[in-house]
Amino acid sequence: MTEKNVMHVRVDSDMCMGSRFCLITAPNVFAEREDGTSGVRSGDKLIDGPVPVPPEDTEAAQQAAMICPAQAIHLSGGDLEAKR
């Protein structure tokens, strides 16, 4: 699979309001920071991203982006036409 075909996710930490919907929807992709906002899992670290999403978690990451009330989750690559 080429890098272009891999979905990437990032969280805009300035926009995140800590609703935790992403943590419930895609717990393998997102985790909570000490300040209550979400970050993207990258190994044992928590970062804003962009981070490649494992193929088995792409559907959950897309769902998390769709339901994020702050629209703080941004997806790119994979089969996506546009970023959210």
What structural domains does the chain harbor? Answer: 8-76 (3.30.70.20)
pLDDT of residue 6: 93
Alpha helices in the chain (DSSP H): 21-25, 58-67
Instruction: Supply the pLDDT for residue 81.
Output: 47
Q: Whole-prediction pTM value?
A: 0.86
The two tokens of residue 40 are 């993207």
Low-confidence ranges of the chain (pLDDT < 50): 1, 81-84
